[in-house]
Amino acid sequence: MSTVVLVRPGCTDFDEQKRIQGSLELPLNERGQCQLAKVIDAIRDQPVEAVITSPCDPCRSTAEAVAHALDITLKEKKQLCNLDQGLWQGLCVVEIRKKFPRVFKQWEESPETVCPPEGETVEIAFERIAEALRKPLKKYDSFVVVASEPLASLVSCTLRGAVP
């Protein structure tokens, strides 16, 4: 069985503004760059063989830095793009709570039951994740997956077999 080190990319301006990033591409901010350096130091001595990530920022830039620092292979998987939050992308969490109070409450309590307008369901994301991890789980004894939230939590559930 493979060992998977799950890494979340560093902070973006949207994180600090409590905005929904979803599948939007955003660069790491200064704080995110500092966090990235700490992550690299923390996993530097892990015997990992590859880094798997989405082709989208901030995951891609995080994964590139990790792969470069550890001198290991970087593989991009389109299936690891973050959950598409549709029309909620770019909105502050407070705005969503005010505009859609019932749906927001349901999203907090059972996110797998909510699909943001023009977004993607958790079920579809689980299918993408399983496809993205199938080959790396067979090929590598140990590898890093770089994924943003909420996809990182879904990757963790997939790896633990806790998929609905």
Question: pTM for the full model?
Answer: 0.92
Give the pairing type, strands 3-7 and 73-76: unpaired
Q: From CA 57, how far away is CA 100, in angstroms rounded?
A: 28
Q: Give the 3-state secondary structure of residue 15.
A: helix
Residue 60 scores a pLDDT above 90: yes
- The CA dihedral of 76, 10, 156, 40, to the nearest 10 degrees, is 80
Say whether pLDDT at 142 is over 90: yes
Does the pLDDT value for residue 4 go beyond 70? yes
Rounded Cα distance between 164 and 12, Å, is 30
Does residue 162 have a pLDDT over 80?
Answer: no
Question: What are the residues whose beta carbons fall under 8 Å from the beta carbon of 44, sequence distance 6 or more?
Answer: 69, 70
pLDDT of residue 1: 82
Say if CB 56 and CB 84 are below 8 A apart: no
pLDDT tens digits for range 86-131: 999 999 999 999 988 998 899 889 988 999 889 999 999 999 999 9
pLDDT at site 164 = 61
Per-residue pLDDT band at 13 (split at 50, 70, 90) = very high
In this predicted structure, the answer to whether residue 62 has a pLDDT above a threshold of 70 is yes
